[in-house]
Amino acid sequence: MKLLTHAQRATLLRNGRRQAAVKGTTDEIDFWPVVKLFTPDGGCTWLLTELDPEDEDIAWGLCDLGMGFPEFGTVSLRELEAVRGQLGLPVERDLHFRARGPISAYIDAANQAEHIVEQITPVANAP
């Protein structure tokens, strides 16, 4: 399975271009996660919000390697494609994931739970 659909890649790249235009200002955008990736045989999860328009291998998002310290940062898509869990299974895309709010809500919930959780208070206006 491909990590990203064409539509997800396009949305992530569009988000990255929009963010690049306001990076470092008070106008930075709190995007909703576009895709959830996970290791089916491990404790790793990624909620991705954007792709770097200058290097489309680099994604921004909430990254949880299962060690109790989820953080917002970057990850290489090529590296994710190479990751294998304890049983040798590759990273998968969660086909049923639907974002319920902006990444900041997931960051807050993950910091409290010490891992990514999907039980956040839903926000009414989905993108």
| 87 has a pLDDT exceeding 80 | yes
The predicted structure's pLDDT at residue 124:
66
29-57 per-position pLDDT tens digit: 999 999 999 999 989 999 999 999 999 99
User: What is the domain partition of the chain in residue ranges?
Assistant: 6-113
> CA-CA distance, 16 to 48, in Å (whole number)?
11
**What is this structure's pTM?**
0.93
Residues 106/46, Cβ–Cβ less than 8 Å: no
For residue 1, give Cα distances in angstroms to 8, 29, 92: 14, 30, 7
